């Protein structure tokens, strides 16, 4: 008589279920917007299945037991299956869960540091210069900054909110003074922008809130809207440079596990987002400060999916 052999539990499987408040996946998913949760959960389930030969999902895997050999092998497997952008999204989710595991004392700082020491995947295929950030990348970046709760992180969150929420160039952002910002309307007066032109742009409510949060730390004396902050977290009443903005964004993105990004990519994300939302090209052109709408159109990185959706708006003739 044939006997059934029970499959042994995988070494990376949790021996006992964790309370949701102590589970790194549950805690991480709780920081995301509701529409991002199913996507990220599928990413994490897949990672768990790869590591355990389909024996575990995201909730039954013991994430605190992951080491560099596990994360490096995951990266290698994902590279064989997906495009660089998709791989990087999955690796970003992996790093965030491990970060929560560290904060929950499920993994030591040394093991955590080694485990996340995996490079993002570069896209060696010819492509258009620059990119638009995904909604998940944006959420991860701002969540990372606000969780740090330092003077510089609040300043940087406000700075990036202006870049992303109004589409300003970095030279325009560092030229702003306190008087150029209207906290009641979220309006920003851009004086002597590119081509010597003035224009008014508006921040979304969330962007206005982040700038006001920074101003409560900065104070409301006249001067540059964004001051430098030294390593001791003291505000230095000195105007920032455009190069400093580039450095800050690259460092913050790297720390959050996001692939390489530039200030102009935030501007591109702003423009693409407005076009994707159905805002007409002329209005977007004015907000972006372009003299020619053809220049604005070149920033569009919505890809083939947007073209497909546009084609489907045409009613059938029968």
Give the active site residues: 169, 194, 264, 267, 290, 299
> Positive or negative, the Cα torsion across 132, 136, 141, 143?
positive
Q: Let me know: does 173 contact 243? Beta carbons within 8 Å.
A: no
In whole angstroms, give the CA distance from residue 115 to residue 199: 47
C-alpha to C-alpha distance for 92 and 134, rounded to whole angstroms: 12
SS3 235: strand
Inter-residue contact 224 to 215 (CB < 8 Å)? no
Q: How far apart are CA 246 and CA 265, in angstroms?
A: 11
Residues making up the chain, counted from first to last: 318
CB-based burial label for 234 (10 Å; 0-12, 13-18, 19+) = exposed
Residues 6+ apart with CB under 8 A from 256: 92, 140, 141, 144, 145
CA atoms of 16 and 128, how far apart (whole Å): 49
Classify residue 8 as exposed, middle or buried by CB count within 10 Å of its CB (0-12, 13-18, 19+).
exposed
Tell me the pairing of strands 187-190 and 181-182: antiparallel
């Amino acid at each position: 008589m044939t006997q059934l052999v029970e499959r042994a539990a995988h070494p990376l499987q949790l021996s006992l279920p964790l309370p949701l408040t102590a589970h790194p996946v549950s805690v991480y998913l709780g920081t995301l917007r509701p529409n991002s949760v199913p996507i990220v959960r599928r990413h994490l389930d897949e990672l768990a299945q790869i590591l355990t030969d389909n024996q575990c999902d995201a909730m039954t895997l013991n994430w605190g037991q992951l080491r560099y050999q596990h994360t490096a092998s995951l990266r290698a497997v994902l590279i064989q299956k997906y495009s660089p952008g998709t791989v990087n999204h999955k690796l970003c989710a992996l790093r965030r869960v491990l970060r929560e595991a560290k904060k929950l004392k499920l993994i030591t700082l040394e093991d955590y540091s080694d485990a996340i020491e995996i490079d993002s995947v570069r896209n060696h295929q010819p492509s258009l210069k620059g990119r638009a950030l995904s909604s998940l990348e944006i959420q991860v970046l701002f969540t990372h900054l606000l969780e740090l709760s330092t003077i510089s992180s609040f300043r940087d969150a406000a700075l990036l909110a202006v870049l992303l929420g109004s589409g300003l160039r970095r030279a325009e952002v560092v030229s702003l003074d306190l008087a150029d910002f209207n906290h009641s309307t979220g309006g920003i007066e851009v004086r002597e922008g590119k081509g010597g032109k003035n224009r008014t742009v508006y921040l979304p409510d969330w962007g206005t809130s982040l700038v006001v949060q920074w101003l409560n730390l900065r104070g409301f004396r006249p001067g540059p809207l964004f001051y430098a902050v030294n390593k001791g977290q003291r505000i230095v009443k000195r105007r920032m440079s455009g190069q400093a903005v580039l450095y800050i964004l690259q460092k913050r993105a790297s720390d959050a596990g996001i692939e390489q990004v530039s200030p102009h990519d935030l501007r591109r994300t702003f423009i693409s987002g407005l076009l994707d939302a159905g805002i007409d090209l002329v209005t977007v052109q004015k907000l972006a400060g372009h003299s020619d709408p053809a220049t604005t159109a070149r920033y569009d990185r919505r890809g083939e999916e947007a073209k497909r959706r546009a084609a489907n708006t045409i009613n059938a003739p029968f």
